[in-house]
Structure formats: structure tokens, C-alpha cells
Structure 1
Amino acid sequence: MVIMLLATGAVFGGLYWFQNFKAGIIQKVMASMSNPAQTVSTAVAAQTDWQDKLEAVGSFTAVNGADLALEVSGIVQKISFNSGDTVTTGQTLLELDAQEDIAKLASLQATLDNYHITLERDKAQAAIKAVSQATVDTDIANVKNAQALVDQQKAVVGQKTLKAPFDGRLGIRSANLGEYLTAGTSVVTLQALDPLYVDFYLPQQALSRLKVGQDITATVDVYPGRTFTGQISAINPKVDSTSRNVQVRATVKNADEALLPGMFARVNISVGTVQQLVTLPQTAIIYNPYGDSVFVVDGKAQGDPQHDAVRQVFVKTGGVRGDNVAITSGVKAGDQVVIAGALKLRNGSPVIVDNSKVPPAEDAPAVTDQ
């Protein structure tokens, strides 16, 4: 009898345990189906040296640059340069036919010389009272008038010659021997290439952080990985009333003449002091009107010890530097933060971390053509 009762109890106990075990399994399966583990990529929050930067885009211009032309018309008689030459101040570049003007200058010079002779003779005569002072005064006036005419003609002859107004590199000439040039026709461009100016605009809020002499760096797509240095040389004293931006000009060294006027540039200006801040890739930040947040991998998922869980944390962001953003609060150095796959997550979601295809976050990412 006792054995039968024990057997019956064992059977009912086993059934009860099996029912509870089955219910638990079903509950876990349903829970895992409603909140499956998501595959994400993560990065470890790092504490790095951080300095705020102002960024802008600008254009290079020559300190001295001009399209050279002549003030008068005429036929090209001589060309004394080749396209692309480097020239010095005062170097003769082109001459127009000036034979007629030179002949007229010689005639006017002869007249001037004759007036000088007459003046000297009359002065000698006036000393012995042979001529009046009025005659000498007339001679002096004639000399001055003749000298003015000679100077005027010299200027006319000089206008037939094109000279380099400053040191620089010539462009491609657009005039040929024997060609008739009208006044003002561009012959060649001349650009002084070292140093260069880079002009850019910044919002008016940046004015308090700018000063003449402040260091800047500039990069161009033509030379990836190369940085050009310079200093702010001028800040426009007027803010544009439409855009509320202020124009800034910096002088950039260009000893090897790698940069050319008209090039597009990215300008960076370091401002403030160096700080120790936690940084994360920008892709980690979930931007919302009610606050920015990130997902931090924190412990095991509830009811799913095989997977890690995430915790949503609100953060305050600082400046941006390339792919990275500074975090002023909410995350500490060493936290493992989700940087890809966060859109599918919620607080407590189980995750599978896969960092096999995570690109590096760079402070100065290079632009490449694919």
C-alpha cells in the first residue's frame, strides 16, 4: 500500500515538474522571439587630447596677381618671354612697334636742346646788359615747355613696352608677333605664388575667438595628407548683413609653389586650450529632439545569459573633429558603446557584438574616389 502511494506521488510530482519546466521553456522561447538578439558593432570610449577647432572653406588668391595689358594699341614687334616663365620686377615682356613715336621724341629732344643753348647764350648776354631779363624769362619758359613735351613723348614710348610690375610666374601668353593689339587686351597673367592668401568666411559668433597672427592650417584635395600652415593676416571690420558671416584672410607659405590661386581649400583654426575629453565615433550618437543618447553594452541580457544587453544613456556632445565627436557627460572612458545597428535597439535589448568590419574613425578622414 505504501509503495503504491509513493509511486503515485512520484508520478504526480514528475508530471507537475514537467509542466513547470515546459512552461518555463515556452516562456523563454516566446521572450526570445519577441526580443531577439541584434547584431551590432561597438567601440570603446577613449579619453584623448581635444582642442576645439573652427572649420571653413575658402579659396587661394595671389598676394599680387594681374592680367597684364598695354595702355595703347599697336602691332607686336617683340616678345621677350615664354609661357610659364618666372620673371622679376621690371623685366621687359613685350614691345609694340614704336618707330614713329621714337622719331617724334628725337625731334622734341632736339628742340629742347636748342632752347637750352639759347637760354645759356641769353644769360651770358643778360650779364652784360645786352638783352633784357624778359628775354631770359621767355627762354626759361621755352625750356620748361619743351622738357614737358619730351617727358610726355617718353611716356608715350614707354606705353609701347610691357614690363613685369612684380616678381612672379607668367601664365600662357595670348599675343603673337605681328598681331595688332588694342588697348586693354590681356597679353598674359602674372601671379606671385609665395606666399598666397586664403580667404574664407566664419559666422559672427567666431569673432571673439579670432585674432590677427593666429595660426591656421589648410588642406587641398590635390595633395591628400599634406597640410599647409599660415597665419591670419586680416579680419574684415564689417559683418555681412545678409549671411552674418565675417570674411577672414590668412597668409599661407608656398615656397615650392604647389598651391595656385583659385584652388579650393579647407581651413582649420585651433582655438582654446587642450582638454582631456572622452571621444566616440559620430555614428554612436542617436540625435533626438528630447536629447542625444547612446547605447552602452552593460552586462548580460535578462533571461538570456548567452547575450550581452545594452543600456540607453543620454549624453551631452561637444565639438566634432573628423569622424569623432567629444562627449562632455554621460559616458566615461572604457565604456563599450554601440556605433552601428543602434536603430533596432531599446533599453535592455540583447545584442551580438561583431566588430569584424568596423572602419576606423579618423580625426581627418581623406576623401577618396571609389
Structure 2
Amino acid sequence: MLDAHPHHAPPEQDTRPNKIAPPPGKSRWIAIVAVLVAMGIAVSGILWRRQQESEVAKWTADLAVPIVATVSPKQGVTGQQINLPGDIEAWFEAPIYARVSGYLKAWHFDFGAHVEKGNLLAEIDAPDLDAQLAAAKAKLNSAEAQVKVREAERNFAETTYARWRDSPRGVVSQQETEAKKAEFGSADARYKASIAEANVNQSEVDRLTALEAFKRIIAPFDGVVTQRNTDIGALINAGSSTSNGPQLFRVADVHEMRVFVQVPQEISSNMKAGLTAEMILPQYPDKTFNAVVSTTSEAINKTARTLLVELHAKNADNLLQPGTFAQVRFNLADTPGVLRIPTSALIFRENGPQLAILLPGDKVDLRSIKLGRNLGTEFEVLAGLSASDTVINSPPDSLSQGEQVRVSKDAPPPPAHEAEVR
């Protein structure tokens, strides 16, 4: 019978050389060294991390101090100008009204014409006035004739009374003498009354004769006719600007022009006689005209809070016209002692305008100031600032009194390893 359990092959013998186990003491030292190295690495890592955290904390604390830029006040304001709207008016300008009623007989100068003083502008036909003058003259002639009659009566009465008065005593009675005296007094009174009436008539003739002269409308001065508001045959009513009479002509003297400017109250103190200005007109954008301040109203308008300033401008070439709008650029006087600071340095809070002044030790002093003119990118400072002060420019909104700041040039850079810290 076959064996039910097959025989196993004999195990192969291991022909590899036998490993030599390390001595027990050496293995222990290796483990100790490994542990020490691991501990050193861990400790150095912890120390390095703590150093980084300390640097980041210091850098963060430095960032909490506001970083500011500073400027020094500038002294003196020169070449300062200000532009304001102005109105150009004629040196003289007069509306011409009729002094007598009638019809326009003729006009001799149209608008735009240059006239001289005394030139005949127009003539008025006034038949009613002519009739009144003729009647007044007739009445005067009658009154003058009456004066002569009364004068003869008076002279006769005076002679009679003198003869009765100088007669020898007993020739005429006293009663007759008194009667002749009374007749003389009555004749003298009638004579004086006739003279008074003649004088009244003469005055009326003189008045109407003067009005007759107003039938001729003449130019009051050398200038330009700027308006003609009537024509031949038009009914003319005597009048003025306060009545119903029409304005027939308007004449303007334009040899020199007056320029009127409303100057805001805050700069009104700069407006002195002799201050120069330049004008720009819309119709001449590439041309400037010179003007000089002549006077001011010496009073502030309560409604607009402005000062009325009058300038004079020569007009030899007749380019300036009455009623023209002009942009007037004033050349303000230099103010060498005034300090100025950039607009960006201003702080506006409940206490009014302030500046942040940098004190020794980089401390902040919030100082109230008094502002002057707005110079565009700069402001004048009239009080509260000295030339030696250092002003913080563009101060943070949160800046407070006595706060510590750092000037921008001293600000530390962030740590190079900031991105490595988590």
C-alpha cells in the first residue's frame, strides 16, 4: 500500500552567512543621540517661532502708530489774482425825453451815430405851443399898452395934486387938496397893477419861448446814439422816466468806461484805489483790457454781502460797449507777512478749522486757526500759526490731541517673513 501521507522533502539548509547582532550598549547610545537630536530640533523650532511672533508683535505695534507726512508753512503771497463778474457802463449815459408835446417833424441821427455836444438830433412840430406863445405875446402887448395908459393917468393925477398942494393958502380948500391926493394915489395904484400884470404876461411869454427851444432836441455831450425810439410823424408827449413820455433817444459818452463789480465781503479789504485789473470779454476771448479801481461804495450790501467797486477803463479804440459783461481779474496786492498752508492740511471739526502741529517727541497738537483767503490749493492763515511750526499734511480723521505719530520717513518696513507667519 501506498503511504497515505507523502513524505516531506528535507528542508534546505541556509547557506547565507550569519548576521552579527550589535552589542547591547551601542544600540542604547544611538537611541539616546537620536532623542537628543529630535529634542534640539524641537526646541530650536519653538525658539525660532517665538522670535518670529515677537517681531510680528513689534511690527504690529509700530503699525498702530499713525504714519504722517509733514509740511512747513510758506510765507508771503505774491501775484495773487481773483476773477469776478463785472458790468461795463458808459462814462456818461443819458436818456433823451421831449419837453414839449407835438409830432416828430424830423430826426437827424440814427442809433450808432457818433455825435458832438449841441448836434440837432430831432425836431418837434408843436402847434399848440405855438398858439399859446402867440396868445401870450398878444396879451403882453395889451398889458404893455395898458401900462402906458395908466402911466399917463398917474402922471396927470400927480401933476394936479402937486398944483393943489402947492397953491397959496386960501386959494383952494383943504378938502379939494385931499381929493386930488386920493385921485393921485388911486391912479398910482392902477399904474403899478398894470405893471405887475405886464410882468406876469412877460413871464408867460418867456416860459413859452423857452419851451419853444425844446422843439429842437440836441445832444447833451459828445458820444454815441445807442437808441432811437421814435420816427417822423409820431405823437410826442412831454415827459420823463417817471411819466408817460417816451424815451426818444439815448446817448452815451464812451471815451472811457466805468466797470462795476460786486466784491465778496471776505476780500473787500483788498479793494483800494489804484488796484489794477484785467478784463476779458466774451466777444474778444483773445484780448485783455486794462482797468484801474477808482472808488468803492464804502458799504457792504446787506442782501448779497458784497462791496460795490468801480473801475475805470480807457476806450480809445471803442471796443468796450455799454451793457457788456466782463470777467474782471484783480491783481491783488502782495502780502509778504501772511503764512499759507495747503488745503489738504486743514481739519474741520466742531471747533472750527484746525491744524495738526507736530511737537517734539512726535506728539500731535490740534490747534485752532483763523483762515484768510482761499488761494485755490492753499489757504492764508491769519492767526494761530507761526513760520517755525511743522504742520501734518493730510492728517487722519481719527487723529487726536497728544497722540503719538511717526513721520513717514521713519516708518519701519514690514518683516520679510510676514507671509510665513500664520
Letter in 2 for 1:288: R
Letter in 2 for 1:188: F
Displacement of 1:229 in angstroms is: 1.5
Residues 215 and 269 in structure 1, CA contact (< 8 A), matched pair in contact too: no
Select the residue among 379, 400, 403 that pairs with 1:325.
379
The alpha-carbon distance between structure 1 residues 311 and 219, as it changes in their structure 2 partners (threshold 3 A), is: farther
Q: TM-score with structure 2 length normalisation?
A: 0.53
Residues 78 and 96 in structure 1, CA contact (< 8 A), matched pair in contact too: yes
Residues 281 and 326 in structure 2, CA contact (< 8 A), matched pair in contact too: no
Question: Could you list the per-position Cα deviations for residues 167-193 of structure 1 after superposition, in whole angstroms to 9, with x for gaps in the alignment?
Answer: 444323222222223331122333445
Select the residue among 232, 257, 260 that pairs with 1:198.
260
The alpha-carbon distance between structure 1 residues 102 and 337, as it changes in their structure 2 partners (threshold 3 A), is: farther
Alignment match, 1:366: none
The alpha-carbon distance between structure 1 residues 276 and 31, as it changes in their structure 2 partners (threshold 3 A), is: same
Displacement of 1:77 in angstroms is: 1.9
2-structure distance, mates of 1:70, 1:270? 47
Question: Could you list the per-position Cα deviations for residues 260-291 of structure 1 after superposition, in whole angstroms to 9, with x for gaps in the alignment?
Answer: 458588797979x9442331233431122235
Letter in 1 for 2:45: L
Select the residue among 6, 20, 28 that pairs with 2:50.
20
Alignment match, 1:76: 104
Alignment match, 1:252: 311
Spell out the pairing of 1:142-291 with structure 2 (5 A cutoff).
147-183=202-238, 184-193=245-254, 194-196=256-258, 198=260, 214-216=273-275, 222=281, 228-232=291-295, 235=298, 243=302, 250-256=309-315, 258=320, 260=322, 274-290=335-351
Matched, 1:48 2:76: yes
Letter in 2 for 1:196: R
Say how many residue pairs are matched: 328
The alpha-carbon distance between structure 1 residues 281 and 226, as it changes in their structure 2 partners (threshold 3 A), is: farther
Letter in 1 for 2:292: T
Letter in 1 for 2:372: G
In structure 2, the residue corresponding to 1:155 is in which secondary structure?
A: helix
Displacement of 1:49 in angstroms is: 3.8
The alpha-carbon distance between structure 1 residues 61 and 8, as it changes in their structure 2 partners (threshold 3 A), is: same
Aligned CA RMSD, in angstroms, stands at: 6.0
Letter in 1 for 2:370: T
Displacement of 1:15 in angstroms is: 0.6
Matched, 1:66 2:120: no
Displacement of 1:320 in angstroms is: 0.9
In structure 2, the residue corresponding to 1:11 is in which secondary structure?
A: helix
2-structure distance, mates of 1:217, 1:7? 90
Question: Could you list the per-position Cα deviations for residues 119-153 of structure 1 after superposition, in whole angstroms to 9, with x for gaps in the alignment?
Answer: 9x99xx9xxx9xx9989989977875664344223
Alignment match, 1:360: none
In structure 1, the residue corresponding to 2:351 is in which secondary structure?
A: coil
2-structure distance, mates of 1:144, 1:56? 61
Which has the higher Rg, Structure 1 or Structure 2? 2
Letter in 2 for 1:255: K
In structure 1, the residue corresponding to 2:207 is in which secondary structure?
A: helix
In structure 2, the residue corresponding to 1:229 is in which secondary structure?
A: strand
Q: Please, which runs of 5 or more residues in structure 2 have no aligned partner?
A: 1-28, 160-186, 239-244, 410-422
Alignment match, 2:416: none
Displacement of 1:65 in angstroms is: 3.4
Letter in 2 for 1:14: S
In structure 1, the residue corresponding to 2:227 is in which secondary structure?
A: coil
1-structure distance, mates of 2:75, 2:93? 47
Letter in 2 for 1:320: R
Question: Could you list the per-position Cα deviations for residues 76-120 of structure 1 after superposition, in whole angstroms to 9, with x for gaps in the alignment?
Answer: 22122222334343332222223664577578779989999x89x
Displacement of 1:19 in angstroms is: 0.9
**More helix by percentage:** 2
2-structure distance, mates of 1:277, 1:202? 20
Displacement of 1:162 in angstroms is: 2.6
1-structure distance, mates of 2:337, 2:270? 23
Displacement of 1:325 in angstroms is: 1.6
Q: TM-score with structure 1 length normalisation?
A: 0.58
Provide the identity percentage: 15
The alpha-carbon distance between structure 1 residues 321 and 92, as it changes in their structure 2 partners (threshold 3 A), is: farther
Letter in 1 for 2:341: L
Residues 281 and 325 in structure 1, CA contact (< 8 A), matched pair in contact too: yes
